[in-house]
Amino acid sequence: MPKKGKLLVVDDNQNILSAVKILMESHFEKVIALPSPKSLISTIQSESPDVLLLDMNFHAGINTGNEGLYWLNEVNAKFPKLKVVLFTAYADVDLAVRAMKDGAYDFVVKPWNNEKLIETLLNAYNEGKTKSKAQKNNVANTKDAMFWGTSPEMQRIRNIIERVAPTDANILITGENGTGKEVLAREIHSLSSRCNKEMLSVDMGAIPDSLFESELFGHKKGAFTDAHADRIGKMEAAANSTLFMDEIANRPLHHQAKLLVALQNRTITRLGTNEPIPIDIRLITATNRDLFSMAEKGDFRQDLLYRINTIHINIPPLRNRKEDIIPLAEIFLKRLSEKYNRPDISISSSAEARLLSYSWDGNIRELQHTMEKAVLMCDDDVIKPEHLGLFHSAKPVIDKNSDATLEELERKAIMDAMNATDGNITLVAQKLGVTRQTLYNKIKRYGL
């Protein structure tokens, strides 16, 4: 395995420094050891380490961990991209949580397990590099930038967002698949007072029922069979930041009740404990379903809907904002021409007409995929209609005079969509306006 980056270890115990240095030199290109944090800042400036393993106590008889927290905050303030793993001989869960909230990547307890220490430090390195690469790509490609366009409805939404984003008001975002609900959530977060911390996202539809409480509220070691270590949940990890819950409609009523209690009380309780933990989050939720109709039918809790729906934003489908289709296509084209080294590529007027006449059931996401396909399929520097690969949408045609049951119609709709997309589950889910997990469940139910 090739060695990776630089590791800086700070501990007042020379034996520990030597042991960690010997252990980690086969995994990192360079391991720098410091017996005291006095020269920590200057060493980071001169060595530019990728990961910092920082002891929490540096004076005999003092085991509060306050020194470690102090230096953690100093490092975070001056070097926010540096991944910090805290090293302590005292397995205090509350201290670990506080450190995680203050920006530590992870927490290792002495005496340590060699494999665990190696895994934690390498994971810290890999995450740091992944985020750094992603940030560079985002800067270069403006991937996550919100495109407001010129349509009156989007301008109205923009005015609302600019007014409410700086507040802590809960926001519900609705709209079809591919309309950019998560992109809008990130825009709201970037305009908020919590923007100095990363927004945390969770796909509510993808959480297995058995792990719902553990995922959102966390658990204590031994709380259930596979709980091998303490873990903080998403609601606690998003402290002082924004928590984005996508596919909020895809949870059963008993889970909705647990979520409501947490939001009302502004506290969570980890599995395996009875101690309530305060949470300070800004909540943004999203769904492609009609929560208001679901609430009327009893499929979604009315009181939870009130709680998450302080501000409701409904993003219009792309077919209702045709004036934004070509500008969006050009944004994607510019990004993709750089990615595939096709700087002179352009869209023909006939291809633009084809883009404008298409229904865009998958909305902006489908447009992006279409432009990427066109760039790859175009032989010269001009994209023509045939390069777009746009055919009729896979929406089922329903015979109003048919005696088929709702289940039969649903089964036929799934089969038609699967045939039209050669079984591509992602495209089928987009065409039918459901999540992948919901689609998997229905495929299993109907034996397809």
Q: Where are the domains of the chain?
A: 6-133, 163-314, 318-388, 406-446
| pLDDT score recorded for residue 179 | 94
The pTM of the full predicted model, rounded to 2 decimals, is 0.59
| pLDDT score recorded for residue 344 | 87
| pLDDT score recorded for residue 393 | 47
Residue numbers in the chain where pLDDT is lower than 70: 1, 59-65, 89-98, 101, 130-144, 391-406, 422
| pLDDT score recorded for residue 139 | 38
Architecture (CATH level 2) of domain 318-388: Orthogonal Bundle (1.10)
- As assigned by CATH, the class of the 6-133 domain is alpha beta
| pLDDT score recorded for residue 435 | 76
CA Rg value for the chain: 26
Superfamily of domain 163-314: P-loop containing nucleotide triphosphate hydrolases (3.40.50.300)
Peptide bond into 278 cis (omega under 30): no
What is the length of the chain? 448
Domain 6-133 identical in fold to domain 163-314: yes
CA–CA separation, 336 vs 145, rounded Å? Answer: 15
Superfamily of domain 406-446: Homeodomain-like (1.10.10.60)
290-325 tens-digit pLDDT: 999 999 999 999 999 999 999 999 999 999 999 999
Cα dist from 384 to 299, 334, 351, 387, whole Å: 46, 16, 5, 6
CB-based contact 170:340 (threshold 8 Å)? no
| pLDDT score recorded for residue 131 | 56
| pLDDT score recorded for residue 4 | 80
